[in-house]
């Protein structure tokens, strides 16, 4: 079954959006497979965003991600990568539709509340990075 990596960023945690965000994924029917509340250091954040290291906003992005605890999660379900991105909304909150997480809760691309893997391959890489101990198997009765 397909899995994706979802991270509630420091602004999402600080603003008390953890429950609301988890609720949206649960109500859609996806299954929570892993969750950790964690503050990451600079080398770890740089590794997570390695593909963006040449971007002018890279340092600011890393500073933002290490500025406080995040909630790192693995969600599972049919088409969860693409559907998860739809639930999250466009990267730039100025373009994300109302009803999406960013459309409802963010206005600044540099404080966009949540991250979701953009493809199955990046999901596998990100899950391996954030959950090196592996993901325990359990079967939801929903599937």
Q: List, as residue ranges, the binding site for ATP.
A: 9, 57, 85, 91, 102, 112
Unique residue bearing structure tokens 């994924």: 25
State which residue has the least CB distance to ligand CMP: 115
Single out the segment in contact with ligand CMP by CB under 6 A; choices: 23-31, 36-44, 70-78, 109-117: 109-117
**CA-based R_g, the chain, Å:** 14
- Give whichever of 43 and 143 is closer to ligand CMP, judged by the CB atom: 43
**Residue 31 binding ligand CMP, by CB under 6 A:** no
User: Helix axis angle, 80-88 relative to 18-28, nearest 10°?
Assistant: 140
φ, ψ for residue 78 (rounded to 5)?
-65, 125
Position among 13, 30, 112, 123 found at the interface with ligand CMP (CB under 6 A): 112
At a CB cut-off of 8 Å and minimum separation 6, what does 30 contact? 75, 76, 77, 80, 83, 84
**Residue 72 binding ligand CMP, by CB under 6 A:** no
**Residue 91 binding ligand CMP, by CB under 6 A:** yes
Beta bridge partner(s), residue 11: none
Instruction: Tell me, yes or no, if 115 is annotated catalytic.
Output: yes
CB of 2 to ligand CMP, least distance (A): 18
Active-site residue set: 115
Q: Which residues make up the interface to ligand CMP (CB under 6 A)?
A: 52, 57, 61, 91, 109-110, 112, 115
């Amino acid at each position: 079954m397909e899995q994706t990596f979802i991270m509630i960023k420091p602004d999402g945690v600080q603003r008390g959006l953890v429950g609301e965000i988890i609720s949206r994924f649960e109500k859609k029917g996806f299954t929570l497979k892993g969750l950790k509340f964690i503050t990451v250091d600079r080398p770890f954040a740089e590794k997570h965003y390695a593909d963006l290291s040449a971007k002018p906003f890279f340092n600011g992005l890393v500073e933002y991600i290490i500025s406080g605890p995040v909630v790192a999660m693995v969600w599972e379900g049919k088409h969860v990568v693409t559907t998860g991105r739809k639930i999250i909304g466009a990267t730039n909150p100025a373009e994300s539709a109302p009803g999406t997480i960013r459309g409802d809760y963010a206005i600044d691309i540099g404080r966009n509340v949540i991250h979701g893997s953009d493809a199955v391959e990046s999901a596998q890489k990100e899950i391996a990075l954030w959950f090196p101990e592996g993901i325990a198997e359990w079967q939801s009765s929903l599937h």
